[in-house]
């Protein structure tokens, strides 16, 4: 009886081990970390002869990356080689030679396991300003649906995948806006209010691009971080408490413009006498900034928009 019990225990132990092994094997795909797909992009959408074209990529697995540039007719123009970093990123530069055909070119980047591609246009390309556009609740819902892609794969992949449409650009701006994390019952309404501002920025930028013929694929709201001198928060607090009047606060804004902390790049700022009264809702925005609920960059962008639209005159 003792031996039978001993053999039974061994049999039971082996059965358990085999079962655990089979379960692990069955669920192994779910335990693996999601693989980041390789993506490739350029620093602009359109170029002219002699321009420096910067190629950036991420998600590479192999150390060596091969990059092939194909003409509009499919002819291989050149092949470049580069190497990935430990984070899977890679970058290289190509000087566009003269004498090649104009049109849309294709860039194919490959490592030993995967390939990614993007396009750019060579030659004098007509860049048309964006038409007026209104975001809807359905657009906000689309932004929410595709946000995991943006969060996982990044801005460059997101814009490339959705062809740099105004919807994708505005969604990207919303993702970087502190309001995106707002969870109140009026979230959709507040996000729609923010899109009015971002669409205005995109249309304003597109008019400038139409004049220069250079198309910038980056959303107009995403730029280098702005740093506003800390003492200006003290002035804003005095203004919010009505210890200085609107004209005093406008003088501070004029200082920020003169120091190029606030930039008015896409429209000439309206000139004239300072507004008699600044709209009260601007004080609410200033309060968010003073209490660090929005960043210096968001506050500066808001002031730029107010100046460009003539709400504040300097």
Pairing type for strands 115-122 and 46-47 reads: parallel
pTM of the model: 0.41
β-bridge partners, 66: 81, 110
- Answer yes or no: is pLDDT of 30 > 50: no
Please provide the CATH number assigned to the domain covering 39-122.
Answer: 2.60.40.1930
Picking from 212, 185, 45, the residue whose alpha carbon sits closest to that of residue 121 is 45
Q: What is the pLDDT of residue 142?
A: 93
CA distances from 32 to 12, 18, 36, 99 (A): 30, 21, 12, 49
Task: Pick the range with the lowest mean pLDDT from 126-130, 147-151, 253-257.
Answer: 126-130
Q: Which helix (H) or strand (E) covers residue 116, if one does?
A: strand 115-122
For 243-297, the pLDDT digits (tens) are 888 888 888 888 877 776 766 544 444 444 444 467 777 777 788 888 888 777 7
pLDDT of residue 150: 92
pLDDT value at position 149?
92
pLDDT, tens digit, for every residue of 160-200? 788 778 888 899 989 988 889 888 899 999 899 888 888 88
Contact partners, residue 113, CB within 8 Å, separation at least 6: 61, 62
**pLDDT higher than threshold 90 for residue 70:** yes
Report DSSP state, residue 185. Answer: T
Q: H or E stretch including 170?
A: helix 166-175
What's the mean pLDDT when you consider all of the chain?
77
**Predicted confidence (pLDDT) at residue 108 exceeds the cutoff of 50:** yes
Mean pLDDT of 93-106: 86
- Tokens linked to 208: 């400038």
Which pLDDT score is estimated for 130?
61
Is the separation of the CB atoms in 53 and 93 below 8 Å?
A: yes
Domain ranges in the chain are 39-122, 137-212, 231-308
């Amino acid at each position: 009886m003792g031996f039978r019990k001993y053999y039974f225990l061994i049999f039971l132990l082996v059965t358990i081990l085999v079962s655990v092994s089979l379960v692990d094997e069955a669920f192994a795909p779910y335990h693996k970390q999601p693989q980041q797909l390789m993506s490739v992009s350029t620093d602009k959408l359109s170029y002219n002869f002699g321009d420096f074209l910067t190629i950036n990529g991420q998600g590479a697995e192999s150390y060596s990356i091969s990059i092939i540039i194909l003409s509009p007719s499919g002819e291989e123009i050149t092949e470049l080689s580069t190497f990935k970093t430990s984070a899977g990123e890679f970058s290289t530069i190509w000087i566009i030679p003269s004498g090649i055909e104009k049109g849309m070119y294709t860039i194919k980047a490959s490592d030993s396991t995967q390939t990614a591609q993007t396009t750019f246009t060579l030659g004098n390309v007509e860049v048309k300003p964006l038409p007026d556009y209104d975001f809807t609740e359905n657009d906000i819902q689309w932004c929410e649906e595709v946000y995991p892609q943006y969060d996982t794969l990044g801005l460059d992949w997101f814009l490339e995948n959705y062809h740099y449409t105004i919807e994708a650009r505005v969604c990207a701006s919303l993702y970087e806006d502190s309001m995106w994390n707002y969870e109140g019952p009026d979230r959709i309404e507040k996000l729609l209010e923010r899109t009015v501002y971002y669409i205005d920025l995109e249309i304003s930028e597109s008019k400038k691009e139409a004049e220069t013929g250079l198309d910038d694929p980056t959303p107009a709201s995403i730029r280098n971080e702005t740093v506003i001198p800390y003492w200006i928060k003290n002035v804003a607090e005095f203004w919010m408490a009505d210890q200085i009047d609107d004209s005093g606060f406008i003088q501070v804004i004029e200082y920020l413009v003169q120091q190029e902390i606030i930039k008015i790049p896409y429209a000439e700022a309206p000139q004239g006498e300072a507004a008699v009264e600044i709209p009260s809702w601007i004080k609410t925005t200033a309060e968010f900034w003073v209490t660090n609920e929005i960043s210096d960059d968001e506050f500066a962008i808001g002031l730029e928009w107010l100046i460009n639209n003539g709400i504040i005159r300097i």
